[in-house]
Structure 1
Amino acid sequence: MTDVKPLVLDVDGTFLKTDMLFETFWAGLGHDPGATLKATLANFTRPERLKAELAAIAPLRTDLLPVNSEVADLALRSRMAGREVVLASASDRSLVARLAEEYGLSDTVFASDGEINLKGAAKAGALVTAYGERGFDYAGDSAADIPVWEQAENALVVGRVNSARALTAEGRNVVELDGGWHPAALLRAMRPHQWVKNVLLFLAMIAAHRFDLATLIPIVWGIVAFSAAASSIYIVNDLLDLEADRLHPTKCRRPFASGDVPIRVGMVAFAGLAVLALGVAAALNWTFFGVVVLYMVTSLAYSLKLKRMRWVDIATLAALYTIRVVAGAAAGQVDVSIYMLIFIFPIFITLGCVKRLTELTLATSDERLPGRGYGRLDRGDLLNVAGLGIAGSVLIFFLYSVSEQGRTLYPTTWILWVAMIPMTLWLVRMVLLGWFGKQDYDPIVFAMRDKFGIGILMITLSLMFWAAGLWSQWFGG
């Protein structure tokens, strides 16, 4: 019987649709940011040591990591045919060995061990020592695998590796397998549908009745800056939530959690979007720049820690929505009333509760939500806080209507009181939809798509314009 040569698989980008070095880095940031950054800075030029230290900081669920289905199918068929399937990776040995065990692959693994970074020529040398020249087939995904392919009997190339074309020119047997990523998936990771929340930047302009191009154009640019800033934070949030997303029934399909976009691409996109946001903000004015920085810092704090803290996460969500309103005032250089800020904050508290109510209603078990501090038993408390938010916002709206500033901007006070009815109806409806799980995971995004709710808001806004005398000012009579 002729010995069958082993099939050797690279791990990062080949067997897996992700990179375990970056997985451990982001898992570490979520678990212990200080230790992770310290290890990264201390071992930046020693990748083998960096990989070992990051692997020790935070436990990594290797069983949840996304696999390349075509490579995994090849490995399964090879095993069923009695062929040894071996993992050879530059990732840390502890992770590679666990991955091999979980998928029933060979106990023999080749990996970095804290002393040697098993990549390129080092990996080729280790495999030749074990199996001899042309004694194995090898699957890889990058130019770093060229030295290994040169020593293998057959080269299996995952994705597009331009430098691997030289192997074909040399008459080597090259097999191409699916891999890589698509820009459309990166755009999805930026969540452009969430940009609709930045219409909140118009709120200060509307409240101040400043309907002129000199105010509108800077606010539109402000929305561009905030959209870029928000997308950069969404990417960071997804990278910090990889494990939690993979355990979620729908979030597991997000681009980074599913491996559709490499983590390193996300990191580059984050940097580019952050630079764009801060550049546009600085070009508008330094006050707006400061607000954008505050938003990004608060969002990062939320992603790193605050979202895991009961009630603090809801208050932070409300603050992030409120910052958008302040940003619109800063971009358009509009004076924002303290009454307005005090009024909208409890509204956003209510919507933050709605967000959590929706998640808990749609949850499949009574356990706490992954990466959150709430379980189904908290639904009653969330409903109560949402009710307090509604009551608080309505009370503040009434007090504003009888204040000096309120009477100046809205002379017909009784019509402003009538506007409180549809406004309250809208808030109560949002809470009930969240309670029964009838809306999107983000209430602001849902609100912008909800035709009935938009109708209620338009009635509220129309009554406020009537109370301000704007209809007669615009259309006469």
Structure 2
Amino acid sequence: MVDARSDNKTVDLVVDLDGTLIATDLLWESTFQLLKQNMLYLFLLPLWALKGKGHLKHQISLRVAIDPAILPYRGEFVAYLREEHRKGRRLVLATGAARKFAESIAAYLGFFDAVYATDETRNLTSVHKTKFLLETFGDVKFAYAGNSRADVPVFDAASEAVVVAPDRAAAKWQRTHSAKLFDAPKTDWKTFARMLRVHQWMKNTLIFVPPILDHEIMNWQILINSIVAFFAFSFAASAIYIVNDLFDLPLDRQHARKRNRAFASGLFSISFGLKVAIALLALAGLLATQLPWVFSAVLLVYLISTTAYSLSLKRMLLIDVLTLAGLYTLRILAGSAANQIEGSFWLLAFSSFFFLSLALVKRYVELQNTALVEKNRIAGRGYRQADREVVAQCGVSSAFAAALVLALYVNSDAVVSLYSYPWLIWPLCPIVLYLNIRIWILAHRGEMHDDPVVFIISDWRSQIVIAIGAALLLYGGMRS
């Protein structure tokens, strides 16, 4: 091979697509989009794969459309290619992705002179790509830009190499041959935590509510069980968040904030996300085995429900917000199941109305922040602009219903049996109304985070009010 440090700009530059030109893998991405259309395709995928990877990619491409305008391109590398094209260098796209996808991307970018891609009978990757390029170029030298272990054979066959966002094998090859490098954006533990959405784990503190209200939280066994249940739910939730992100890649890339998520932006690969999700589910299952079997049943219901929400229910009018409210209530049921505490009708009724109000806030904010033609729906949702006021009315009504349920509970015999001073529990009613109605007012002003639960957790006024309520509940009204 000619020295990889060569500055010869006359040779054609052959460019890989997945992981090199774009920070994603179109096979994985299109597979998730196919399954989002219909999960029954899961049974066809192995049959297509048996006929070869090229056949698999071709069949998926016939059923899925990729929008090249929203893909996560390697910005610095694309700028380099544009400059090379401006100087007159011939650029060739050679990829293992399906031809349909490759040609649409090449047409969108407008600087490739030729496109070679996988078709129904040939998977253009690794040694197959190397052989094809050597046959195509013959005795003419060519340069190659790639990123992975599969590209190393092509690097060896090329007269010049450009290594982009390399994996371990490609990075080792680059260091050995001193090839031109476009490194990937750096990631750290904060990026990983954002991928897991660790801040969302605060929602799972609802697991502690049943033992707290039953005045058993200071029992060491119950406290340990609650902690184990908290982490089991948190690991399971993070796994579902990852899977949900993989299904929602096209939608997230069209969102002002969500486009910066780890997978939508290409900071982490889809295959890496799947490995992490599987590991998290395994950890959640292992922790669940340490608790009563009823907890495992509740966790399974949560996993099924949240997966159904991600795949389908989130696009259904009203079903989506009712499901979200139910998922919060499941966390409370999980706290009861983990500690074998009898579920409270009052608590479940209150949580259903309270969290329904918050779910409706989320949809109201989405409607407020999305510019739509009157009869068009939010991308991936079942709502139109005309629904905004009805959503607000339902949300505020749910807030008052939650306060009403709490007021009826405070006046019930259950409170008398649990607390020496039931009158100290009454301030919880205006506290709940303050939290909910303030959120709605801020949402109406356009000052609300699109996730009201995250807002409550991070807002200092809400934290103070919650602390006052907790003090009244745990100290002022403790049973004798």
Give the TM-score band, short-chain normalised.
over 0.9
In structure 2, what is the equivalent of residue 39 of structure 1?
44
* CA distance in 1: counterparts of 2:151 and 2:107, whole angstroms: 24
Partner of 1:284: helix, strand, or coil? coil
Measured after TM superposition, the shift of residue 157 of structure 1 is 1.8
2:324 aligned to which of 292, 317, 330: 317
Measured after TM superposition, the shift of residue 197 of structure 1 is 1.1
C-alpha deviations, 1:97-127, integer Å up to 9, x for none? Answer: 1111110133521111011111112111221
**Are residues 1:179 and 2:188 paired?**
no
Query: Please, which moves more after superposition, 157-166 or 230-239?
Result: 157-166
1:275 aligned to which of 282, 300, 305: 282
**Are residues 1:214 and 2:221 paired?**
yes
* CA distance in 2: counterparts of 1:169 and 1:393, whole angstroms: 62
* CA distance in 1: counterparts of 2:112 and 2:369, whole angstroms: 40
The one-letter amino acid of 1:379's match is R
1:116 aligned to which of 122, 128, 134: 122
Query: Please, which moves more after superposition, 6-15 or 215-224?
Result: 215-224
The one-letter amino acid of 1:248's match is H
2:459 aligned to which of 429, 447, 450: 450
Q: 1:264 to 1:415 in 2, by over 3 A?
A: same
**Mapped contact 2:424–2:477 kept (Cα < 8 A):** no
Task: Structure 1: state its 5+ residue gaps.
Answer: none
Measured after TM superposition, the shift of residue 340 of structure 1 is 1.2
Matches within 5 A, 1:13-412: 13-35=19-41, 37-45=42-50, 46-133=52-139, 135-164=141-170, 174-179=179-184, 182-184=187-189, 185-212=191-218, 213-365=220-372, 367-412=376-421
Partner of 2:426: helix, strand, or coil? helix
Partner of 1:226: helix, strand, or coil? helix
Measured after TM superposition, the shift of residue 389 of structure 1 is 0.9
Identity %: 33
* CA distance in 1: counterparts of 2:356 and 2:170, whole angstroms: 55
Measured after TM superposition, the shift of residue 398 of structure 1 is 2.7
* CA distance in 2: counterparts of 1:43 and 1:127, whole angstroms: 26
Q: 1:127 to 1:395 in 2, by over 3 A?
A: same
**Mapped contact 2:147–2:170 kept (Cα < 8 A):** no
**Mapped contact 1:246–1:258 kept (Cα < 8 A):** yes
* CA distance in 1: counterparts of 2:352 and 2:395, whole angstroms: 12
- TM-score, normalized by length of structure 1? 0.92
The one-letter amino acid of 1:275's match is A
Q: 1:246 to 1:218 in 2, by over 3 A?
A: same
In structure 2, what is the equivalent of residue 430 of structure 1?
439
Measured after TM superposition, the shift of residue 159 of structure 1 is 3.1
* CA distance in 2: counterparts of 1:232 and 1:100, whole angstroms: 34
* CA distance in 2: counterparts of 1:88 and 1:283, whole angstroms: 51
Q: 1:457 to 1:167 in 2, by over 3 A?
A: closer
Task: Structure 2: state its 5+ residue gaps.
Answer: 1-7
What is the alpha-carbon root mean square deviation over aligned residues? 2.2
* CA distance in 1: counterparts of 2:119 and 2:242, whole angstroms: 31
**Mapped contact 2:61–2:101 kept (Cα < 8 A):** yes
* CA distance in 2: counterparts of 1:103 and 1:223, whole angstroms: 47
Partner of 1:283: helix, strand, or coil? coil
The one-letter amino acid of 1:315's match is L
* CA distance in 2: counterparts of 1:462 and 1:329, whole angstroms: 22
Q: 1:365 to 1:80 in 2, by over 3 A?
A: same
* CA distance in 1: counterparts of 2:139 and 2:154, whole angstroms: 10
In structure 1, what is the equivalent of residue 449 of structure 2?
440
Partner of 2:93: helix, strand, or coil? strand
The one-letter amino acid of 1:95's match is F
Measured after TM superposition, the shift of residue 423 of structure 1 is 1.9
Query: Please, which moves more after superposition, 62-71 or 221-230?
Result: 62-71
C-alpha deviations, 1:46-71, integer Å up to 9, x for none? Answer: 21111111112222112211111232
C-alpha deviations, 1:205-252, integer Å up to 9, x for none? Answer: 121111322211110111111111111011011111111111111111
* CA distance in 2: counterparts of 1:169 and 1:236, whole angstroms: 35
Partner of 1:427: helix, strand, or coil? helix
Q: 1:68 to 1:312 in 2, by over 3 A?
A: same
- TM-score, normalized by length of structure 2? 0.92
In structure 1, what is the equivalent of residue 5 of structure 2?
none
**Mapped contact 1:291–1:326 kept (Cα < 8 A):** yes
How many residue pairs end up in the alignment? 468
Q: 1:133 to 1:165 in 2, by over 3 A?
A: farther
C-alpha deviations, 1:399-454, integer Å up to 9, x for none? Answer: 32333323212454444334312222222112222222322222112111111112
Q: 1:369 to 1:168 in 2, by over 3 A?
A: closer
* CA distance in 1: counterparts of 2:170 and 2:476, whole angstroms: 71
